[in-house]
Structure 1
Amino acid sequence: MATFEATAISTSDTGLTVKARNFEFLVDEPPSLGGGDLGPNPVEYMLGALLGCLNVMVHLAAKEQGVTLTSFSATARGDLDPSKFLGKNLDVRAGYQNVEVNIEVEGDVDADKLAEIARIAESRCPVSDNIANTTPVTIKIVKKA
């Protein structure tokens, strides 16, 4: 079992500085959602995390299948209804209603191998697993002493 951790400090009502290992990144909302547009928003980072994970998994699966890829590019797109997190419609889902990923690769690989690589990558990608399946999340808010 591996444990990962991120810490964060709020910089505004919508802005946040996140630290993970020795890296730091900004999270913010676009002006249309009341933010300062100082960085991607949380759901955009989630799409980026999915693409990062699939990059690793596609390359790993390709190697396992004896395939060398010479390029990888991908786009992830998700649809969500912001009315829930804005408190306007509590009956809809807060998260993505669907996520679509399109990956283009180059290399000496046929359609059957690509299908197997896709199957392996999707089934073993931790981020894809977290999106597709329910993961218990416990949130505690305490008053700072």
Structure 2
Amino acid sequence: MSTEKSQTRNQTLTFAVAAAAESPTETRVSVRDFEFVVDEPESLGGANAGPNPVEYVLGALAGCLNVTAHVVAREMDLDVRDLEIAIEGDLNPATFMGKREDGRAGYQEIRVAVTADVDADADAETIDAWLAAVEARCPVSDNLRNATPLALSFDRRE
């Protein structure tokens, strides 16, 4: 076993972003050398300057599934080409909008459809094992499937 893999196995990585409100709906987010805008569509009171937060969640899931799918395929010696991921999520905004106190503010269900060209000699059992490993090992799907502690704090500006 290589030292790099052994270090990765026991190492916790910390990821961080910084964000600043540009308006009540628009947020500018900085991460590493990148910057992106989060906003609401005009129909929800925003300026439509970028995807909204819950759309970014779906996009993050798609990106993470893509990376994980290729990592697992390489480990399984499975050739995966032309991978496409389509994701839909159902969300009732009533809790977010303060119109009800019961129910979830977030997605009630997320559906993921994966389409790809895989090895012709890969049987259904191999593809099922690949997909199960992808779902189990994808960090974003893990965060969506399981409760993750969230520590929210506040600092008053003087």
TM-score, normalised via structure 2 length: 0.89
Paired position in structure 2 for 1:104? 115
Paired position in structure 2 for 1:143? 156
Paired position in structure 1 for 2:57? 46
SS in 2 for 1:55: helix
The answer to whether the aligner puts 1:15 opposite 2:26 as a matched pair is: yes
The letter of the residue matching 1:88 is K
Paired residues, number: 145
The letter of the residue matching 2:156 is K
- Whole-Å separation in 2 of the counterparts to 1:48 and 1:72: 15
1:100-121 per-residue CA deviation (whole Å, 9 max, x = no partner) reads 1001011213322211111101
1:61-102 per-residue CA deviation (whole Å, 9 max, x = no partner) reads 111111111211111111011011111111121010011100
After TM superposition, the runs of 4+ consecutive aligned structure 1 residues lying more than 4 A away are: none
Report the structure number with the largest CA radius of gyration: 2
- Whole-Å separation in 1 of the counterparts to 2:124 and 2:21: 47
Q: Pairwise CA RMSD of aligned residues?
A: 0.9
Shifted more, 101-110 versus 23-32: the winner is: 101-110
SS in 2 for 1:75: strand
Shifted more, 101-110 versus 82-91: the winner is: 101-110
Paired position in structure 2 for 1:95? 106
Describe how 1:38-77 pairs up with structure 2 within 5 A.
38-77=49-88
- Whole-Å separation in 1 of the counterparts to 2:118 and 2:132: 18
Structure 1 unaligned residues grouped into runs of 5+: none
The letter of the residue matching 1:105 is A
Paired position in structure 1 for 2:3? none
Identity, in percent, stands at 45
- Whole-Å separation in 2 of the counterparts to 1:35 and 1:139: 25
The letter of the residue matching 2:91 is L
Shifted more, 109-118 versus 73-82: the winner is: 109-118
The answer to whether the aligner puts 1:129 opposite 2:127 as a matched pair is: no
